[in-house]
Chains A and B, each alone.
Chain A
Amino acid sequence: MQRHLISAADLTRDDAVLILDTAEEMARVADRPIKKLPTLRGRTIVNLFFEDSTRTRISFEAAEKRLSADVINFTAKGSSVSKGESLKDTAQTLEAMGVDAVVIRHGASGAPYRLATSGWIDAAVINAGDGTHQHPTQALLDAFTMRRRLVGRDAGIGRDLSGKRITIVGDILHSRVARSNVDLLHTLGAEVTLVAPPTLVPVGVETWPCEVAYDLDSTLAKSDAVMMLRVQRERMNAAFFPTEREYSRRYGLDGDRMARMPEHAIVMHPGPMVRGMEITAEVADSDRCTVVEQVANGVSIRMAVLYLLLGGNEPAVSHTRIEEK
């Protein structure tokens, strides 16, 4: 049994489909009057956030509470990289308190991996975003959203994203969302194209299982989903692109560009959106934009992941648990 979720690349196709299927099951809980399962009763989960992220933390917290786990929120913003030992010390403090799982968000790439592999703690480690490395539950909720929209809610059970064409647009270089999505979508059989100015594509991208393009317009007509990434304004000062307006003209998604996408195609965004720069309000508010669904699906996915990593002996759905690799 795999004990941790550190990278989307660690998931096999069957692992990933199992998580998506489990999440469908979990999503039904949200439709009930009492949105709670007793599955993780008596288990303690810590949300260890070294970096601000209200959305992700609340999503995990909601998932944990719906599974009846005891939840501790620990915010240690900015303390880690300046004082190297604090991650280890914090981890060992939590271990001493008998924590069963640690959901960690950290500004340093690899921090969750270190936490899981250094022998500092025994708890399961779930990566809630590390530096510019990985954000696996984000990729899972994105895949879940795509499967629901592009394959079907019930029809999608047991299926992957074979043949779907996904375009990811924006700051690939600094994006853990992009890395996680490329890994997971490839595992699920989708064809991924990354679109960005060359300054925002990492050196070494050629080994990734995806295409890279610099021209957004030529990819729109053949996309089943277009995922817009957030572009931080400070990137402009670091000369990654000349001006916000030029970025917007070349890589922003507006109504005209959306109209060139196939009719069934969806627009995705991990949030928070910078309206007017990477995406116009017209697109953000359209029916084709799944931002709000992604947030709801995030809770279901995180419930599924926590359940499968920590759950009791009885399956939530009629599948085996994640196999050890």
Chain B
Amino acid sequence: MSKILIRGAKVLGGEPQNVLIDGSVIEAVGTEISDEAAEGAEVVDAAGKVLLPGLVDLHTHLREPGREDSETVLTGTRAAASGGYTAVFAMANTFPVADTAGVVEQVYRLGQQHGYCDVQPIGAVTVGLEGRKLAELGAMHESAAGVTVFSDDGKCVDDAVIMRRALEYVKAFGGVVAQHAQEPRLTEGAQMNEGVVSAELGLGGWPAVAEESIIARDVLLAEHVGSRVHICHLSTAGSVEIVRWAKSRGIDVTAEVTPHHLLLTDELVRSYNPVYKVNPPLRTQRDVLALREALADGTIDIVATDHAPHPHEDKDCEWAAAAMGMVGLETALSVVQETMVDTGLLDWAGVAERMSFKPAEIGQAKGHGRPVSAGEPANLMLVDTEYRGSVDPAGFASRSRNTPYEGRELPGRVTHTWLRGKATLVDGKLT
């Protein structure tokens, strides 16, 4: 069946409408769609549900190649489809590192082959993520993967000259450098946010200034060379202030926040449970509130998951030995609903802007983040916003289970996802 009629969905949270998909594109959107047009269509009753463009994650770790015990392109894209995503940007810190055309093409092709979600590889900024020598940025851009976003995520491009050169170089083909802002010397031995809780727990402090000083430097570099820079996972109130200042000055900077930094604080580290160990670390309630405000007012442009799967044994140990990171693709929209929508800070159109339109624009994801209107690619998702339930990691499609939300009640449930008209998720079940 090539036609699908989504009936009565609140498109971007607005009044109920019908959406007719024909093949891989949206044929019509409206309150009335003629029987003739909808003839033979499979009907999806979407009454009460919100229809959004397929979500786009600018920051995902798929782990393949190299750590297929944590995640693969297949399991990661299935997790993405479960979370309502139709495109994910796969970070470069794999083994081997995605610093050549060969590796990025491999990752890109696996995504196409599996068909759950478009995978857009991110290329490393420097060879081996070592921060010394630029990777072949142009070759990765020209490859079949068409890389547009470059990042050494997991590590900071801390050498100011290398960062400057990368920012300048990618201008030739409209690329963007996504910076993991972490001053390395200030974070030696760092285990958690530096503050009241770290002082008490005796865990190495990760000061806010280690993030803020790099962001400040990078927006000034971007201004100087007239390039654009994207800041990964902002986590502090001070970072928000710097980005706000930079934008007011006309600097071409965009920024992302993760769902977990919108919800969780460093108080949770008192449990010494490594499920809360993440980079950048969970900050204070004051930071959380500042991040929510900034996402609402547009200072922070997008939500990105930083989906970071790790096998059980890398978390079932003492804090200092544990890996940093949390899975996030399957819970992101629920966390955003709880922290931004249910609090009145953002409406669903605002969620669409920050989780689909804008990330697609920053990463130049073709065919994604498009309006829900006739003639557009049918990359769509439905969310039951009335749903309430506790998170059960056993049901995750991700190969890893390192979620901080196990047993926690979160609102909202993604029920359907369509990638170019092909259902990848139906009634909450992967196809």
Contact = CB atoms under 8 A, between A and B. Distances in A.
B205 A110 contact: no
B194 A108 contact: no
A222 interface: no
Contacts of A114: 272-273, 317-319
Interface in B32-80: none
B194 A81 contact: no
Nearest to B323: A84
Interface stretch (B195-203, B225-233, B391-399): B195-203
Contact of A132 (B196, B202, B273, B317): B202
Interface string B190-227: 01001111111111010100000000000000000000
A164 interface: no
Contacts of A202: 198-199, 205
B318 A80 contact: yes
B317 to A, nearest CB: 3
Contacts of B159: none
Counting contact residues on chain A (CB < 8 A from B), the size range is 20 to 34
Given A87-B317, A106-B318, A203 B194 contact: yes
A213 to B, nearest CB: 17
Contacts of B200: 179, 204, 207-208
A203 B195 contact: yes
Contacts of A108: 318-321
B136 interface: no
A109 B205 contact: no
A214 interface: no
B275 to A, nearest CB: 11
Interface in B311-348: 313-314, 316-322
A204 B320 contact: no
Contact of B318 (A111, A179, A203): A111
A286 to B, nearest CB: 32
Contacts of A207: 196, 199-200
A196 B316 CA distance: 37
A102 to B, nearest CB: 14
Interface in A97-125: 106-111, 113-114, 117-118
A88 B194 CA distance: 27
Interface in A238-275: none
A131 interface: yes
Contact of A176 (B197, B198, B202): B202
Contacts of B313: 84-85
Contacts of A88: 316-317
Interface residues of B, number: 25
Nearest to B207: A203
Q: Is the interface of A mostly helix, strand, loop or mixed?
A: loop
Interface in A61-110: 80-85, 87-88, 106-110
Contact of A81 (B199, B202, B205, B321): B321
Contact of B203 (A82, A109, A117, A206): A109
B193 to A, nearest CB: 9
Contacts of B191: 109
Contacts of B273: 114
A65 B181 CA distance: 53
Contacts of B195: 203-204
Given A134-B202, A207-B199, A109 B194 contact: no
B205 A203 contact: yes
Interface in A160-197: 176, 179
Interface in A16-47: none
A236 interface: no
Centre residue among A109, A111, A206 by max chain B CB count within 10 A: A109
A85 B202 CA distance: 21
A204 B316 contact: no
A204 B202 contact: no
Contacts of B321: 80-84, 87, 108
Contact of A203 (B199, B203, B271, B322): B199
A110 B191 CA distance: 12
A236 B200 CA distance: 24
Contacts of A81: 318, 320-321
B272 A204 contact: no
A204 B317 contact: no
* Most chain B beta carbons < 10 A, residue from A81, A108, A118, A134: A108
What are the 8 closest A-B residue pairs judged by CB atoms, nearest first? A204-B199, A133-B202, A84-B321, A84-B317, A110-B272, A108-B320, A132-B202, A202-B199
Given A110-B202, A117-B272, A176-B202, 20 more contacts: A80-B318, A80-B321, A84-B317, A87-B321, A109-B201, A109-B272, A110-B203, A110-B320, A114-B272, A114-B319, A117-B271, A131-B202, A131-B320, A202-B198, A203-B195, A203-B198, A204-B196, A205-B199, A208-B199, A208-B200
23 contacts: A80-B318, A80-B321, A81-B320, A84-B313, A84-B316, A84-B317, A87-B318, A88-B316, A88-B317, A107-B320, A108-B320, A109-B201, A109-B202, A109-B272, A110-B203, A110-B272, A114-B272, A114-B317, A132-B203, A133-B201, A203-B198, A203-B207, A204-B197
